[in-house]
A and B are shown apart, each in its own frame.
Chain A
Amino acid sequence: MIKTEHLTKKFGDLTALNDISCTINDGCIYGLVGSNGAGKSTLLRLIAGVYKPEKGNVTVDGAPVYENPKVKERITFVADELFFLPGASMNRMADLYAAVYKRFDRKRYKELTSLFGLDPKKPINTFSKGMKRQAATILALSARSDYILFDETFDGLDPVMRNFVKKIVCEDILDRNATAVITSHSLRELEDTCDQLALLHKGGLILQSDVQNLKTGLFKVQVAFREEYDKTKFEGMNILQFIKHGMVANMIIRGDQEKTVARLKAMNPAVLDVLPLTLEEVFTYEMEALGYKYSLES
């Protein structure tokens, strides 16, 4: 289990992360979403033991990560800016990983290389950007680490390959009961992959929740009554947003969907529709409820 407690990281005068506390349970795929400069990469580097926090700590199963080879041995970090040795082929990089990570699985490496259709003898610098990301993913998965940290790794892949890579990663994580932390600035990238999601904004952890809870806990209702009404009619409901055009009102409500619908039906509405929310919309409304102005695509 990865645990961060009151984690703070500064770069000169800039506070990149401020008092972050979170828990990443074993066996889950944890998504970190946030706009550029939110602190996603910094958090990942702190978890990987690259950065030393100014305050707070990062532990894996209770042991600190920074300068602790035993813990770092269990973590593989795939950075946003990939690194390969100059002129190296995938096989050369595999040698490096094998020297560094004791559990590096050559068989799995060969399987994945063949699955992705990459030439392991070809210099990586001749690969396309997407192929490089595939190569980095293959190497990281072959390291057989308990924790794999992907920093915007899937963002540069085409949709087909992105789904393929996600599928491979998910299978690998499930098979080995490993844990993955994936960052992205786009929630859509993480929506169908992650078990847990956290939102970082300007160095702070705004929201952290189970994806399923997020999706079911918030829903949109379109309702109309024959008589005049306003928001007070729905007292007792946790309405995050209420917009009324004419007789029709659109509401974003947090709570038990079935109970809420039953209560609304009891009010004898002329129109009652429950509309599904995308994860992006859920995040948007949750953020607005917290007083943040959050643009999902920014």
Chain B
Amino acid sequence: MKNRKLFDFGLYREGIKQLKTPGIVFFVIFMIAAVAVPLTEVIDRGYSIEIVTGMDMHPVLLGLCIVAFILTLYLFGFLNKRNTADFYHAMPYTRECVFLSFYASVLTWLFIIAAATSLVSFGLHSIFSGHFTVVFSSWLMYTLNCLAAAFLAAACTAIACAITGTTINGIIVAVLIMFLPRFIIAMITYEITLLLPMMSYTHIGFLLEGKYNLLTYLLFESLGIFNWFNDILADPAAFIYTIVLSLAYAAAACCLFKKRKSETAGQSSPNRIMQAVYRITVTMMICIIVLCLILDVSTFESDEVFLIIFGYFIAVFVYFLYELITTKKWKNLLKAVPALGIVAVLNGLIYCGMLGIYQAHLNFTPTADEITSVSLQLEEMPRFSLENYYKYQSSDIKLTDERVKQIVAKNLKENVDALKATRSKNASDTYYKYSNARNYESCSIVDDDFASAQYIRACVKIRTKSGAYYRKVVFPSADFKIIIDSLISNPEFQKRALTLPEPVKNPITFGYSNEKHTDKAAYEVFKAIQDELASVDADVWLSQLKSYHSPAHISYRTVINNNEIYISVPILPNLTPKSYEKFFEYTYNTGRSDRERILSLLKSEDYKKYNVTAEIVLNQPNGTFVQVRIDLNDETIPFLLDNLVDERIGPNDSYIYIEIRYGAHDIYIEGADHFVGYFKLSNLTYEDIINKIIVDNMMDAKEY
């Protein structure tokens, strides 16, 4: 653009030049990290294949936010000195043009650093494909999200530079702009969810959930407030939210830059009003904490009055201290006194808002008629087992049965009533009778193991005509079973339960082996299970999943919505016989050397140097199977050696799974001897086992 009103390439190039030194320094640091991470992993891991997400590949890229902060402060630092501010403002450009051209220079450096180092990281991980399986979408989203967070940091810093006149004030205000709004929201929502245990902190409404603002998320995560690091950094919603916010902030920075007076350089703030705004903002950070304590006291019989008074004392101290530090004039303290009234008014308004939100959520007790549907929710992303995969898949299944709605409405009302009673005077500790409730996450949906618990606490998404609300409701286990039954009988859930997601490339693990099989045959076994499952009766499949820890199973990793999920699928001879045959054909063909080594160890005394585990799966005459864990010793080994044969296991055969590894129990030593084998058992009955073998733990026996 030649008119120099909005953007000028010459000035843009000048900005790039001025950022050359810090830009190159950060580029080199990030590049070293991008190269070092895969190389170190290759050296450390040896030849095991690992699925790597964007964050695993290039964790240092998270630091791009700090780079954005520093580069923006560096380039826009001219605003803080009179001579430099005059120089740039005297140049033949509009203020918008100076801002946009320089801001583009910062973004360009961030893009260069992120793109170049991420591509190198991606390339190296791809070169070492024998060690890593790269999830492209995860890598791409992670890189984009880090860039979005950095862009937001740059925009916040640019706003701060535009409304302050000294570096120290610029840093303070930048940090406030970046984190204060989210800090206030997080404090309020945290306090309310603390007071209302039926509320879910992770589902409190899109804009209130800190996880979408990637910049604040990074800080909160590093402070241990959140725990979804990989998940969020690969979330497109977080990217969209953060990039839109960064654009809005950049537009605000441009407007403020245009309005900024050159004479602000060297002053703590452009005028007394802005100085008061900063002072009040800093003070409100303390006040928010005190307001949470007040809400605590007013809604719960808490004895924190002293803390409240002390908190306000600190707030007032900080109020004046900020004025003194930034203006360095004692006489300004007196001038700052009247604005304390604004602090008081703000405290009153925020408190009323908090109380209103608290009351609104406390009184949310819809009737069954008002509920349109209910969905069960997992609080966190599942990582292991088919069971958790199913729970994850159930989160958007809408349960519309009247009984389910009634159960949810009734129990939510009881929960809320109990909570209200607990908080009123002379109330018994009724709500906390639920304190021993078991969490939904820790109980199975295909087994009745929650029946042993008196109460189950589960997060449910309650849809009403006025919107969807998430509530952690404590259900009596009998009620919860009705909800689970409704879920299991839901046609959409059944369809999903019989559909296995594709593995992300290979590896597929067979049984308890720690070997990862990457060949075509392993994938054929997976395809056989996938195909057979599609035609299995869902009710039968779900009811038999209780034996999912059968030695015959495959495990693999997949990626759903950019989240890595580990799935373990049992192979049941009665439901998936072809897969069962293929599984044992595969293990027979690939495990020959392991079996030879196991037999040789068992025949000698050498096996005593190893940690040995064994599990027998007995085919009973009635077609069912019995699974027994046994202890291998001098008495049982001779008997077993007499009865096992190294042959391919068929659908009707009983078999023993033996695992021998060097080292103590439960301690895995990298590279140490580890042998796994499946052996056919000839003509051995359940009674033989009972009579001839010492059963390690009969309670482990499961029949299927």
Contacts and interface: CB of A to CB of B under 8 A. Distances in A.
Contact of B83 (A11, A73, A81): A81
B92 A51 contact: no
Contact of A45 (B4, B91, B93, B262): B262
Nearest to A100: B91
A23 B91 CA distance: 23
B261 A51 contact: yes
Interface string A39-79: 00000010011111000000000000001011111010101
Contacts of A70: 3, 92
A69 B87 contact: no
A51 B85 CA distance: 11
Nearest to A145: B92
B493 to A, nearest CB: 63
Given A72-B91, A72-B92, A77-B90, A99 B84 contact: no
A242 B636 CA distance: 135
A51 B89 CA distance: 8
B463 to A, nearest CB: 53
B92 A73 contact: yes
Interface string B670-704: 00000000000000000000000000000000000
A228 B81 CA distance: 65
A11, A95, A100: most-surrounded residue (chain B CB, <10 A): A100
A11 B252 CA distance: 25
Contacts of A49: 89-90
A99 B94 contact: no
B14 A69 contact: no
A72 B95 contact: no
B83 A83 contact: yes
B13, B90, B93: most-surrounded residue (chain A CB, <10 A): B90
A129 to B, nearest CB: 14
B92 to A, nearest CB: 4
A85 B18 contact: yes
Contact of A50 (B13, B90, B93): B90
B514 interface: no
B10 interface: yes
Contact of A81 (B3, B82, B90, B91): B82
A69 B92 contact: yes
- Residues of A in contact with B, size category: 20 to 34
A72 B90 contact: yes
B92 A99 contact: no
A50 B262 contact: yes
A193 B83 CA distance: 26
Given A69-B94, A99-B10, A83 B86 contact: yes
A150 to B, nearest CB: 13
A79 B86 contact: yes
Given A100-B10, A100-B91, A50 B86 contact: yes
B87 A101 contact: no
B11 A99 contact: yes
A82 interface: yes
Contacts of B81: 83
Contacts of B89: 49-50
Contacts of B593: none
Contacts of B3: 69-70
B395 to A, nearest CB: 54
A95 B83 CA distance: 19
Contacts of A81: 82-83, 86
Contacts of A83: 81, 83-84, 86-87
Contacts of B11: 99-100
A11 B90 contact: no
B271 interface: yes
Interface string B248-289: 000000000000011100000001100000000000000000
Contact of A69 (B4, B262, B271): B4
B86 A99 contact: no
A46 to B, nearest CB: 11
B291 interface: no
B592 interface: no
A12 interface: yes
A92 to B, nearest CB: 9
Interface in B84-116: 84-87, 89-95, 97
B85, B94, B272: most-surrounded residue (chain A CB, <10 A): B94
Contacts of A99: 10-11, 13-14
B83 A69 contact: no
A69 B86 contact: no
Nearest to B3: A69
A51 B261 CA distance: 7
Interface in B36-89: 81-87, 89
B5 A69 contact: yes
Interface in B451-468: none
Contacts of A11: 263
Contacts of B17: 95
B14 A45 contact: no
A96 interface: yes
B89 to A, nearest CB: 5
A116 to B, nearest CB: 21
A50 B261 CA distance: 8
B130 to A, nearest CB: 47
Interface in B338-364: none
A77 B92 CA distance: 11
A48 B97 contact: no
B4, B91, B262: most-surrounded residue (chain A CB, <10 A): B91
Contacts of A12: 271-272
Interface in A74-107: 75, 77, 79, 81-83, 85, 95-96, 99-101
B5 A77 contact: no
A285 B394 CA distance: 96
A52 B260 CA distance: 10
A96 B12 CA distance: 11
A67 B258 CA distance: 9
B160 to A, nearest CB: 21
Interface string B588-623: 000000000000000000000000000000000000
A67 B89 CA distance: 9
Nearest to A47: B90
Nearest to A149: B90
B93 A69 contact: yes
Interface string A244-257: 00000000000000
B172 to A, nearest CB: 22
Contacts of B10: 99-100
Contact of B87 (A51, A72, A79): A79
Interface in B480-527: none
Contact of B90 (A48, A85, A96): A48
B319 to A, nearest CB: 22
Contact of A77 (B13, B82, B86): B86
Nearest to B97: A69
A101 B83 CA distance: 19
B90 A75 contact: yes
Contacts of A77: 86-87, 90
Contact of A101 (B13, B82, B92, B271): B92
Interface in B1-45: 3-5, 10-11, 13-14, 17-18
A77 B84 CA distance: 12
Contacts of A73: 4, 92
Nearest to A49: B90
Given A51-B263, A69-B5, A96-B14, 15 more contacts: A12-B272, A45-B86, A45-B262, A48-B86, A49-B90, A50-B262, A51-B261, A69-B92, A69-B94, A72-B90, A73-B4, A75-B92, A79-B90, A100-B11, A100-B91
Top 9 A-B pairs ranked by shortest CB distance? A81-B83, A72-B92, A99-B10, A69-B4, A73-B92, A83-B87, A77-B90, A83-B83, A69-B92
22 contacts: A11-B263, A12-B271, A48-B90, A50-B89, A50-B90, A51-B263, A52-B261, A67-B94, A69-B3, A72-B90, A72-B93, A77-B86, A79-B86, A79-B90, A83-B81, A83-B83, A83-B84, A96-B14, A99-B13, A100-B91, A100-B92, A100-B93
